[in-house]
Structure 1
Amino acid sequence: MRLNVLKNTVLLFVFIMISFGCLAKPSTENTKQELSVSLSDSTIVVGANRTQAYIPLLKGKSIGIVANQTSVIFKTDSTYTHVVDSLIQLDVNVTKVFSPEHGFRGTADAGEVVKDGIDTKTKLPIVSLYGANKKPTADQLKNIDLLIFDIQDVGARFYTYISTLHYVMEACAENNIPMLILDRPNPNGRYIDGPILEMEHKSFVGMHPVPIVHGMTIGEYAQMINGQKWLENGVTCELTVIEMEHYTHDKLYHLPIKPSPNLPNDQSINLYPSLCFFEGTNVNAGRGTQTQFQVYGSPFLKNQEYTYTPKSNKGAKHPKHKDKICYGVDLTNEKQLNQINLAYIIKAYHATSNKSEFFNSFFTKLAGSKKLQKQIEGNLTVTEIKQSWKTGLDGYKKMSKKYMLYN
């Protein structure tokens, strides 16, 4: 008995040393993916780094984990180790990895089907939640005692990691599997904005009646899913959130690893809630360039000083208007936004020479309503459109407040 206690204590100590950079060396593969590992606020401790809070919960259990390239433990020397690699190193029984859109290593295009496979480094089976099914099946969850969810989100309703969160929670609830969330900051968590999704327009890019910028961390959002009974048949997931330390919603947070191939830096992440509307139009939002979601343009926007030509690249094999000159706007030096900026899409709509084909059906899914397209086509101003959001936003802010874990 004493020997087992001593063994567990030693293992926990070793894991803590790994978390703070005292033992493990960073893998070359991980460091290549870095943008910069300097956090805007170095006092923030993400959930994954709080090993002493969750390692005891994993011992003696068969563990599954929903993870991607952002699922890391930061170290004091400005490097990091992947959570999966660290768990395995400490003999935690990780048996399966579940991967979201863009895959486990985060290299697949937006919307690209991701297949099941085997991770070349750990040899663990990888179950894609963006392939044959988006919700884990009972068979895929068989023999798993606890499921960890650790993915960096960007705080926008149409960013699909929160949709994956929904389906994973639902599957865990239906199969009596507890879920552990390692919480991370929301880089767009300083504000709440946008139209509330109307449920008749529910899709994988919008599953809940929330605004486009929801203002919550993954841990907070999961609590809201449970509390509002949004899972099928009102089931709830047994949930534990490993909270961050020293985080508040008004703190700027630099993402040291790009959360997906087409969000390469802080500027793109900040502009994403405003520029993603262009995905539902004939305007390219920078895919096929090195300034994704920092520029926009199309062959139909004339009299624009800025031009670029989308090319097939690692993040977009088939970008909109590939190999065609796009006329548009460069926002790489735009000031930090603390609200959705509708001026971009309104300006583009009025500048296009092909208004009848400006919008496509995907726009309604992104907006969560048919109203926004009609408002733009009806020449409403930004102020008039945003005024129409006010009642919904006020109700959402009141509802969501009770699920907040951080100031």
Structure 2
Amino acid sequence: MKCINLKVYNLLFFLLLLSCTSNTNKIENRKKGKLQESMELAEIQTKSIVLDSNTSPKPQYIQIFEDENGLQNFTFLNTFNNSIYFYNYKTSEFIKKISYDQNGTEGIQMPLGYHIKNMDSIYIYNYSNLELLITNSKSKVLEKISLIGNHDFKKSSNVLLYYPQFFPGTSNPFIETNKELLLPAQYPRTLSDSLLSKIKFLQRVNLKNNKVTFNNVYPFSLYGNNYNWDDEIFTKVFTEIHPDGNKLIYSFPVSHDLYITTIGSDDYKVIYGGSNFAGTITSIDKKVKENTRDKIGQHIASQDLYASIKYDKFRKVFYRFLRKRITDASIHMQLKKQLIAVIIMDSNFNYLGETVIGASEEWNWQNTFVTEEGLNIEYLDRKDIAEENINFKIFIPKKIK
């Protein structure tokens, strides 16, 4: 009888312990405080580009495009007037703009990003219909490619339950290979375990026949077990092509590691790519009933979250962005107060160092790209009240003396 009671007691104790355990994923930084710094980012120059009266800083999307004459074009999307602007990157001089209708049979209602393959093949992502449009420099729409299997999501919202959505940005752009145009999308809703193996976030568009295929699911160790990552900031997938040209590198916001896959494969190689100072990243506790938007915002502000990863082929280093946690973040804490750090790694992902460049309210890290000059990051000049310029600070890695 005593033996039976002991078993019952142990079972009850186990169930009690289980019920008290928070259903959260705690992703620890196994190398925190153990890494040695040898390099830091050094600011070397500022590049300013004069804007017209219809344009403001923080454009939706930027692409550096080298034309057939070898001229390096700085291009950006102006969503106000449905135009792509072209400037000479070296001299900052305006060249031209291509404007598209917003309505009509060739209208582009909601352009969020684009990729210029050449002036006869300009791919524009129209979020209004979740489609990719092939256009030319004369503003003509040549072809339309559905990214949701030709379904009309306006008639059936359930379609969006099984397709990722592409939210392009300069920090997470289209990627062109010899055969395909890659769109690293994301699933912006809550990821349940039942969906985890079904949602493939990489959209691959064949450049010859425009066929769309899908690859790569969210890692179960990060997003499985019904962990609650109830905000799209956690499921954003930042992508860079590997220097060898046939692999992709994924930077998930909630992981100190990087996930590497061969294009077309669904297998990952996991390699450390974290910060020497970032702490444990924690999902949102499902048991907290007061998970309002303010509470979720407070939780986001209190986490170290990774972002864009960029390869610098001129210096053979990687840059990985980190949005640093705000200590003792309050419910009214604004994310623009988060400090932005840039981690430097060599071509084999060995840690070299990291530099805090400032707060998000001063640095639009979403607009970052690499040129021969260095790492370009948009700087928000508070003195430019009229918003007449878009400004970039340019950095290069230097050895710590």
Relative to its length, the structure with more strand (as a share) is 2
Q: Which has the higher contact order (CA 8 A, sep 6+)?
A: 2
TM-score by structure 2 length?
0.25
Normalising by structure 1, report the TM-score.
Answer: 0.25
Greater Rg by CA: 2
Larger helix proportion of the pair? 1
